[in-house]
Amino acid sequence: MTGEERIKEIEDEIQKTSYNKATQFHIGKLKAKLAQLKEEDLKRRSSGKKGEGFAVKKSGDATVVLVGFPSVGKSTLLNAMTDADSRVAAYEFTTLNVVPGMMEYEGAKIQILDIPGIIAGASAGKGRGREVLAIVRNADLILILLDATNIRHLSALEKELYSVGIRINQSPPRVSIQKQDKGGVSVVANVKLTKIDKRTVREILNVYGIHNATVALHEDITDDQMIDVIQKNRIYPKSLILLNKIDMLNPADLKKVREELKGQAIEISAEKRSNIDELKKKIFQKLDVIRVYTKRLGEKGHSPEPMIMHKGSTVRDAALMVHKDIIAKFKNAHVTGKSVKFDEQVVGLNHVLKDGDVLTIVTNR
């Protein structure tokens, strides 16, 4: 039996088995086997295909990617937000490559990538689907672009992303697995488990050859999430849903669409350039970055360009961005801004910086 036949067989069995208390461990086991087979299948397909991926250089402080079906307006939006000039046309698959553009916002340089449209079956390799999805995996933020006249695309898109391990609107399951030499698998949960039972956890681990371990569940998760924990190559990126072409809807239709998407989408018209400033702001906020300015000791003004850092970054992180050797000579730092009580406050390497802080690093010479 080929890998594909085996996958089909297990999928059929899962379909046929009704889910209840008595079968849930069995279904969990089947799903784990399926996940494993799919992973192997994927490796087989991608081996010998090296060098075919898109060549894109990450640049700027963060990378954002535009994901959507063909003709939803990805290229139009890229052109509206950045200095890029990506080809726009009324037919599908206008964009065949990855086109980067740079968006400047509040001192941050945010790279936006326009990519070919994703279609149902992309994750299985349709179009250049797998290569496109590889680009998506590497971004800091995913913008899911929908055509307001066809929002059914959303679930199809989510499905393609899901099949390549991209988990939208989820956070990593709070589960830890400590492998051991002996003693079997013990499962401890500090919450009530309603979606999974301990036997299912053990069965899933068994499929992956884990026979001795302590599994700690800090939240109630599904069997699929348990498999995600073990599969490891799952990612949980930030995302925003954008509703484009709202200029094409009358108020009544817009209201309906809004309700269907539970008001979670950002409404724009890329062509009419409406709500683009609001979108830029939301992108910046979602990236959760802070701006830190540097200043030389004794000088008045600070650097015109900020360093863009993750929220929660410390003086140590900032020093490393300035120069990797600076830590060895570090004496202290002076900070002015929201993270301190008074101007030029003296702090150490572990001090957590805030947006807009001005930082001076003092070194021993």
Nearer CB in complex with ligand GTP: 67/108:
67
> Which secondary structure element, helix H or strand E, spans residue 146, and what is its range?
strand 141-147
Smallest separation (angstroms) from ligand GTP to the CB of 247: 5
Residue 173, burial from CB neighbour count under 10 angstroms (0-12, 13-18, 19+) = buried
Nearer CB in complex with ligand GTP: 73/337:
73
Q: Report the 10 Å Cβ neighbour count for 244.
A: 25
Smallest separation (angstroms) from Mg ion to the CB of 133: 16
Amino acid letter for position 269 = S
d(CA 341, CA 344): 9
d(CA 84, CA 86): 6
Binding mask 198-237 for ligand GTP (x = CB under 6 A): ----------------------------------------
Does position 93 bind ligand GTP by CB under 6 A? yes
Nearer CB in complex with ligand GTP: 94/212:
94
- Do residues 186 and 214 touch, judged by C-beta distance below 8 A? yes
Smallest separation (angstroms) from Mg ion to the CB of 94: 5
Question: Which of residues 25, 63, 65, 76 is near ligand GTP by CB under 6 A?
Answer: 76
Smallest separation (angstroms) from ligand GTP to the CB of 132: 10
Smallest separation (angstroms) from ligand GTP to the CB of 122: 12
Residues 238-257 that bind ligand GTP (CB under 6 A): 244-245, 247-248
- Do residues 121 and 85 touch, judged by C-beta distance below 8 A? no
Nearer CB in complex with ligand GTP: 94/363:
94
Does position 191 bind ligand GTP by CB under 6 A? no
Tokens representing 175 are: 């589960």
Residues 59-118 that bind Mg ion (CB under 5 A): 74-75, 94-95
d(CA 242, CA 115): 16
Nearer CB in complex with Mg ion: 75/313:
75
Tokens representing 67 are: 């994901």
Does position 266 bind ligand GTP by CB under 6 A? no
Helix axes 198-207, 24-46, angle to 10 degrees: 30
* 3-class secondary structure, 171: coil
Bridge partner residues of 177 (DSSP): 215
Smallest separation (angstroms) from Mg ion to the CB of 97: 10
Question: Which of residues 73, 100, 101, 165 is near ligand GTP by CB under 6 A?
Answer: 73
> Which secondary structure element, helix H or strand E, spans residue 99, and what is its range?
strand 99-105
Helix axes 74-81, 276-287, angle to 10 degrees: 90
Residue in the block written with tokens 């730092």: 333
Q: Taking CB within 5 to 8 Å according to partner kind, which of Mg ion, ligand GTP, none is near residue 356? A: none
Q: Enumerate binding residues for Mg ion (CB under 5 A).
A: 74-75, 94-95
Q: By the criterion CB under 6 A, which residues form the site for ligand GTP?
A: 68, 70-76, 88-90, 92-95, 116-117, 244-245, 247-248, 269-272
